[in-house]
A and B are shown apart, each in its own frame.
Chain A
Amino acid sequence: MTTMNVNTEVRSGETDNTQDVPGSRAPLVLNMDKFNQVTQQVCQVAEARRTPMAWYITFAIGLGLLSLLGFCIVYLIVTGVGVWGLNNPVMWAYDITNFVFWVGIGHAGTLISAILFLFRQKWRTGINRFAEAMTIFAVMCAGIFPGIHVGRVWVVYWLFPLPNQMEMWPQFRSPLLWDVFAVGTYFTVSLLFWFTGLVPDLATMRDRAKGKIQQIAYGAFALGWRGSNRHWHRYERAYLLLAALSTPLVLSVHSVVSFDFATSQLPGWHTTIFPPYFVAGAIFSGFAMVVTLAIPAREMFGLKNLITLRHLDNMNKVILLTGCMVGYAYAMEFFIAWYSGAIYEKFAFINRAFGQYWWAYFLMVSCNVITPQLFWFKAIRTSIPIMFALSLLVNVGMWFERFVIIVTSLANDFLPSSWDVFSPTWVDIGTFFGSFGLFLTMFMLFCRFLPMIAIAEVKAVMPEADPHFGDDHQGDDSDHGHADAKEAHA
């Protein structure tokens, strides 16, 4: 139909739009030429009378795991933190590993929504909505762990600077307090950002809704959106401001989380490289999780033309880049440990790689350093099954990264007399898998009831959104067209 279809071809059920043809723009939406098609396709997921069986199955799994989480947490609170496998040197293990893991996952959403937005990376529109949702759910999962891991859960609110009759403030030098602020801010801003982006789409849902309940529910959250020019103007301003606000948060949250370790005395934790290394790792794991979620979601709800192979290819490139950064950090840690001349530091890293947790370390290195290197190959970057498998591996690797950092450093620190081994109990494992239940349940509900794709934004990156779309005076205004091409070119 247009020049944009020039380099699309059908390959094993996938439309390959990853080819870059000089002078033309790769399409970000496939097989569509009307805005309404987008609306129709995205909204029908929520409006459909029949929900796909796969959704029910996944949701059931999610609910099952969520109940496991609930059970484990109640059991933990009723009996004591001792139900986990923690011990004297290893006072944190699965709890904080899971916390950092989930916070890390939560990074991709904001990166995609804020940073890519500011950099005018239009391909973000296909994935930003559910990546942001993923962020919010991941941060919720993350937030559980610091909350429940304390010995006296009933006074966990003392972490917050609330005025109280004890006239006690929290201790502001503690990185745990910084965490409270960093994660709290991150969650709030991410939620606002996500919700702001949702408003026009919620209005669309409201307008299309058939039932009274849907109309009221969507209507309440649509905040009276009517699509007026003024609305759009304010919306765009707000969105831009929130993007600007979120951008530093992408860097700050995981930097602050890494301070939990970096500001301590412990060999293996006390490392200046941690902030950038953690941020890179977080983006790495976050993108892997987006890929992990996007692949089944686009399959289940038939969104392949909106979340195209090109989107996945782009994300894989980000994974490759951040994977290299993580690999560099691993190497640099070793170098610094050797260069420092500190025997404890040196031992911590040798022990990490060759000590009792060598298997975790090698799992981490192979998943996080070797796996992403496969993404140098385009065939792999564009192969759905392989990238799915690799994204899972990256997730596994990144969980083990946190496990390795936390547990191996604690297990063998300064005085050999205190060394011990951590082994998880079923409650540790149950809580960990249970947190996936919470995530999955939330995500499935989101998929079912909210627009998974930012409808309004996607429309803006379609060729049809070009004011000159359909004009036949291309030659007259080639400059304009050229600029558009650049802009749409992801």
Chain B
Amino acid sequence: MTGDLEYRVDDSKTTQDTNDQTGTREPLSPSLQGRDLWRSLEDLSHTDEFKAFSDREFQEGAQNLEGEDRRQFMKIMGASFALAGLGTAACRRLPETKIAPYANRPDDRDPGVSVEYASTCKLGGVPVPVVVTSYDGRPIYLRGNGDHPAMPSDACGAMVQGTVLELYNPERLRVATNNGDDSTWADFDAWMKTRMQSHPGGAGLAILSGAANGPTTDSMKARMASDMPSATWSEWEAVNDDNVFLGTKIAFGAPHEVVTDLAQADIVVSLDSDFLGTESDNGNNPAGWASRRRLEGQPADATMSRIYQIEPMLTVSGIGSDERIALRSSRVPALARAIAKRVGVSGGVEDPQLASELKASVNRSFTSHEGTHEEVVVTDADIFDKMIEDLESHRGRCLVLAGGGQPPEVHALAAILNEKLGNVGRTVSYRPVARSRTRVDALTALVKDMNAGAVKTLIIFDSNPVYDAPADLEFAKALSKVEKVVYFGTSLNETTDAAQFEWVIPGVHYLEAWGDATATDGTVSIVQPLIHPLVDDSQGGRSMVEVLAMLMGDEQTDGLEILRDTARSRFTGDDYAFERFWRQALSDGYEKGTSTPTSTPGVSSGAMAAAMRGSNALSSDAVIELAIYQDGRVYDGRFANVGWMQELPDPVSKLTWDNAIYMGPELAKQQGLVSGDMVTLKTENGSIESAVMVMPGWASGTCSLSIGYGRGESAGMIANGAGFNVYPIRRADGMSLVSKVTLDKTGETYPLASTQDHGIYGSLDPSVPEAGIQERLPSIVREGSLETYQKDPAFNKGLAHVAHSLSLWEETNLDGAKFRWALSVDLTTCTGCSECVVACQSENNIPIVGKDQVIRGREMSWIRIDRYFKGGTASNPEQVVTQPVCCLHCENAPCEQVCPVAATVHDKDGLNVMVYNRCIGTRYCSNNCPYKVRRFNWFDYQRREPVREQEGLFAVKPSYYTSEGPSDFRRMQFNPEVTVRSRGVMEKCSMCSQRIAKAKIQYKNEWAQAGGVSTGKDWSIPDGAIRTACQEACSTGAIVFGDLNDPESKVNKLFSSPRTYDLLAELNTKNRVKYMALVTNPAFERSVHGHGGHGHGDHGHGDHGHGDHGHGDHGHGDHGHGDHGHGDHDHDHDHDHGDHDHADKHVSARNNGKVVNDA
């Protein structure tokens, strides 16, 4: 030992002598005498190496604790705890400016505990009350504010969800520029003050903004009108209510908003209104619709509303309807007139050409199964007649809706019809609109002024008219005639690109500024900032109100104070009461009792005549129409640079990253087009190029293209190259319909990234045997009519065949679990709107992967909405169904059996959990998952720029190989409660296990504080306390999460509903996510009230005998084979079905509820 020590010491001395310049050390360390304890020989000998090592033991930070570096260290540590809620002053997330180390933690602040604030998002002037989840000062998640009187639920819509990502847009405008040179807010302030002197009384000053409302803005406007009477203020929205405005003006003499109540409507006739989708009215329409579709809690003779959807293209509302007539957009006014005529409105006209067209149009045709084997043909005329019948028999309980894309006459007719049918005050009411001009008129007037040189200074707030103004206004040209243009906005865009701007000032996001808004019901709602503007103070970051205050030379230019001042001016009471009122309003997100009542104006006498004006002649069939509509993802284009929106599949076409000209197979065939072809679409006023996508359900001669795409490089990296711009042919007189278009194939093709039917088009693709799809659909999406349901609520049990339920393995024993989490999905109330997809993405840090990856089939969403066409023909499917699919948390999970490293296992509550750290990425689990809900990180998606197309050999490299990674801003959105997954691991729905854990902690703590065991009760979590993100986002309440161990839980009751079924029950996976069969209320029998999935004929029961299967033992229960008549089936299959071979194979023995008892 000693010798060894000596040797070592000597050895170290040698190195010491050569290396140590100080030469202070002795061969035998003095420490040997001084110290009793040592850790190693090196310690004993006190070498340099050991000194370095002992320092390293405390990592680099250790040195920082000494001397001057301590400050730096505290800063670094403090940054983690900084921020959050010391009023907005401390909300800044940029660590170098404000550091708040929690040496003394504020009482109301728990680091790592999220806080919720109420605020309001303005979506094109329509305020959406929201609740924002903030984590350590970072807003990360949005939901609707269901407590707000204008909001029926906590669903806020996919686009609003996406605004939280918009906040962190790495390409946001951050530096104020003056003629292209970097400048500061202070310089602008000075410049503007001087400039204002040249506008006496506001002459030559014009303001252009997006739709702006709210008491503060209104009072600012009013003051401006009085102080600067010559200044003009125009508001422009590309998605607007001009048609409603004009239509109600025709009907009532004054413009009104239409307030609908679908909950009261037994019969809904929608004239091209996407009331469940883009016209959902903050979810009020879907919620009302769902309340009349939900069968739970209803007696056995349940009722359901019936929706007649008349539309040129398939929409979410078309999917949610019971009877659908695909009709050219230009025919809808004629149809509305025909309804007027039929229900007895004097002046109504039924166009004979339209009538004969409806008669000729076969909606569905199949061989009946009602014993007679008769050919059943239902034409659109039959549906129309039935619709009239239904309307007349449901006076006061029906509703006629007109779509925003339809001309004013249709809106006027809808108002007239609703009055005639006695619906006003019941299913529909109105609220006067204060505006005097339509949006188009306002913009037209401004452009006129600009062209006349009357506008010297133009201030644009968050508006992009160069991109989205009607093409015939030629806004860009007018812009060049303005002397000085000032732009306030959050990002550069076409407008800032188009002209030399005097000033471009970074604007604020609504999550960064104070403000107020008048909600759709008139309630004053508060816009509350969650974070200090992510723009340097010197660079701007002012809200519009603050800028206006500055313009008008107000002393008070602080947003909060301005807001409080206006609120105070409206409040009657002392300051103390006001403070209480104000705090309550902030907490609630709105001021109580400020909603405005609706009215029931009478239709003016000349209204019908006015509504009948315009051309009554129907366009020729040969004419191709282009319907221009609002996309449910990018709105008017403003969300084009939000990755979630680009990667959100269109609810109908499942297309991501693009829009495309959709058309039915008939038109495509006639034009010689297939999906992916590029065409030049020519109109009388210019042409555009776009790709084509063929979709079933489009009216003949109709194609459609949504606005908001084709923004090129102007909008940013994400939007770059996304889709095709329809604005160049969107004119003030044809905002939503362009007639007489021609389509010329350019010969080029364009890759379309669809998340379903990847590269193929499902049942339209001849290379995949269609039988394979149609045969299995009835058991996958179990579906029946209301009549069927009334006769046998458990009708779906007969739609699938489960022979054996034996496990190969010993099943996971979940007995004795405290919780048994489960999720119920009601297909009856699912509209397929896809908001759950975005909510999940927001909550669970799901990356976007880029267009090329979606084309490869690598989208990462944990929940997807499957969309299937059932029956009918390729151009006219009988039905479109949607089915949200997330991880079904099988108790007998096939994924768990095959994982070689036990990375996916069951937790004690019965959830199938993914252990990311353990996963090595064999992907076997996904292969063995029958539902294909697992997602694999093929690349490091979170660190990779999600650009549309990656080119070249190293294009696929994650961005950490490049000098600049994705901005930290993007990362600020991450939910810290959810692991950010790395490359090479599998991921999937966790049923929001972080929310479950949070609730467990909360309720167990509460229980413990209340006395714990001494209370004599075990702790529990009340039903409804935990909601998954998808559940929260569902505007129709189709998704319900809860505990099956709780006999009173909602999910438990739903699980015991006869409508509930297991997806792919035959695999015995024992799902914790179950579906409730789709029940619709069609006016006529359908061919596809599925029975095919049961497939007795296919199973060949005759061949191997019933005895083998022992049906009684295997859960058929009441729905034994006797009911279904095998012989009958085989017999049917032998029949000659003519053209309808696919539909006929699946003709049900339970058509329209009639069980064929012929066995």
Interface membership of B957, Cβ < 8 A: yes
The 0/1 profile, CB within 8 Å of A marked 1, for residues 760-803 of chain B is 10100001110111011100100000000000000000000000
Asked if A350 contacts B1064 (CB within 8 A), the reply is no
> CB within 8 A of A89: which of B759, B857, B940, B954?
B857
The 0/1 profile, CB within 8 Å of A marked 1, for residues 1109-1135 of chain B is 000000000000000000000000000
Interface membership of B983, Cβ < 8 A: yes
Interface membership of B858, Cβ < 8 A: yes
Query: What is the CA–CA distance of A158 and B901 in the complex, to the nearest angstrom?
Result: 7
Closest to B776 in A: A343
> CB within 8 A of A150: which of B853, B859, B956, B984?
B984
> CB within 8 A of B935: which of A88, A344, A356?
A88
> CB within 8 A of B921: which of A81, A87, A177?
A81
Known: A82-B853, A87-B858, A416-B868. A171 touches B984 (CB 8 A): no
Closest to B925 in A: A91
Interface membership of B341, Cβ < 8 A: no
Query: What is the CA–CA distance of A278 and B379 in the complex, to the nearest angstrom?
Result: 56
7 intermolecular pairs with C-beta atoms under 8 Å apart: A87-B856, A150-B984, A152-B985, A153-B984, A168-B918, A263-B898, A412-B768
CB-defined contacts of B769 to chain A, threshold 8 Å? 347, 350-351, 354-355
Interface membership of B874, Cβ < 8 A: no
Closest to A159 in B: B900
In the complex, what's the smallest C-beta–C-beta distance from B1093 to chain A, in angstroms?
A: 8
Query: What is the CA–CA distance of A171 and B773 in the complex, to the nearest angstrom?
Result: 35
Closest to A155 in B: B920
The 0/1 profile, CB within 8 Å of A marked 1, for residues 176-192 of chain B is 00000000000000000
> CB within 8 A of B898: which of A87, A156, A174, A419?
A174
Q: Give me 14 other A-B pairs in contact (C-beta within 8 A), A176-B922, A350-B771 excluded.
A: A80-B984, A87-B857, A88-B936, A90-B857, A151-B984, A152-B920, A152-B983, A158-B901, A168-B902, A341-B1100, A415-B885, A416-B780, A419-B758, A419-B760
Interface membership of B866, Cβ < 8 A: yes
Asked if A82 contacts B858 (CB within 8 A), the reply is yes
Interface membership of B938, Cβ < 8 A: yes
Known: A155-B920, A347-B775. A265 touches B928 (CB 8 A): yes
B residues bordering A, Cβ < 8 Å?
756-760, 762, 767-769, 771-773, 775-777, 780, 808-809, 853, 856-859, 864, 866-868, 883, 885, 894, 897-902, 918-924, 926-928, 930-932, 935-940, 953-954, 956-958, 982-986, 1064, 1066-1067, 1093, 1095, 1098-1101, 1103-1104
The 0/1 profile, CB within 8 Å of B marked 1, for residues 45-87 of chain A is 0000000000000000000000000000001001111110111
Closest to B849 in A: A82
In the complex, what's the smallest C-beta–C-beta distance from B897 to chain A, in angstroms?
A: 5
Known: A80-B983, A88-B935. A174 touches B897 (CB 8 A): yes
Known: A151-B920, A415-B932. A344 touches B776 (CB 8 A): yes
Asked if B936 contacts A416 (CB within 8 A), the reply is no
Interface membership of A410, Cβ < 8 A: yes
CB-defined contacts of A418 to chain B, threshold 8 Å? 931-932
Asked if B922 contacts A149 (CB within 8 A), the reply is yes
Asked if B958 contacts A421 (CB within 8 A), the reply is no
Asked if B900 contacts A80 (CB within 8 A), the reply is no
CB-defined contacts of B859 to chain A, threshold 8 Å? 88
In the complex, what's the smallest C-beta–C-beta distance from A267 to chain B, in angstroms?
A: 9
Query: What is the CA–CA distance of A265 and B928 in the complex, to the nearest angstrom?
Result: 6
5 A-B pairs with the lowest CB-CB distances in the bound complex, closest first: A151-B921, A151-B984, A82-B938, A87-B857, A417-B866
Interface membership of A420, Cβ < 8 A: yes
Interface membership of A170, Cβ < 8 A: yes
In the complex, what's the smallest C-beta–C-beta distance from B940 to chain A, in angstroms?
A: 7
> CB within 8 A of B899: which of A75, A156, A171?
A171
Asked if A266 contacts B901 (CB within 8 A), the reply is no
Closest to A89 in B: B932
CB-defined contacts of B898 to chain A, threshold 8 Å? 173-176, 263-264
Query: What is the CA–CA distance of A92 and B936 in the complex, to the nearest angstrom?
Result: 12
CB-defined contacts of B932 to chain A, threshold 8 Å? 88-89, 413-415, 418
Known: A80-B940, A89-B932. A171 touches B900 (CB 8 A): yes
CB-defined contacts of B780 to chain A, threshold 8 Å? 414-416
Closest to B902 in A: A171
Query: What is the CA–CA distance of A80 and B769 in the complex, to the nearest angstrom?
Result: 34
The 0/1 profile, CB within 8 Å of B marked 1, for residues 339-370 of chain A is 10111101100110011100000000000000
CB-defined contacts of B1095 to chain A, threshold 8 Å? 341, 343
Asked if A173 contacts B760 (CB within 8 A), the reply is no
Asked if B1100 contacts A265 (CB within 8 A), the reply is no
> CB within 8 A of B956: which of A79, A89, A265?
A79
In the complex, what's the smallest C-beta–C-beta distance from B1065 to chain A, in angstroms?
A: 12
Asked if A417 contacts B756 (CB within 8 A), the reply is yes
User: Interface centre among B868, B931, B938, by most A CB within 10 Å?
Assistant: B938
Query: What is the CA–CA distance of A72 and B456 in the complex, to the nearest angstrom?
Result: 63
Query: What is the CA–CA distance of A478 and B664 in the complex, to the nearest angstrom?
Result: 89
Known: A91-B926, A347-B776. A265 touches B894 (CB 8 A): yes
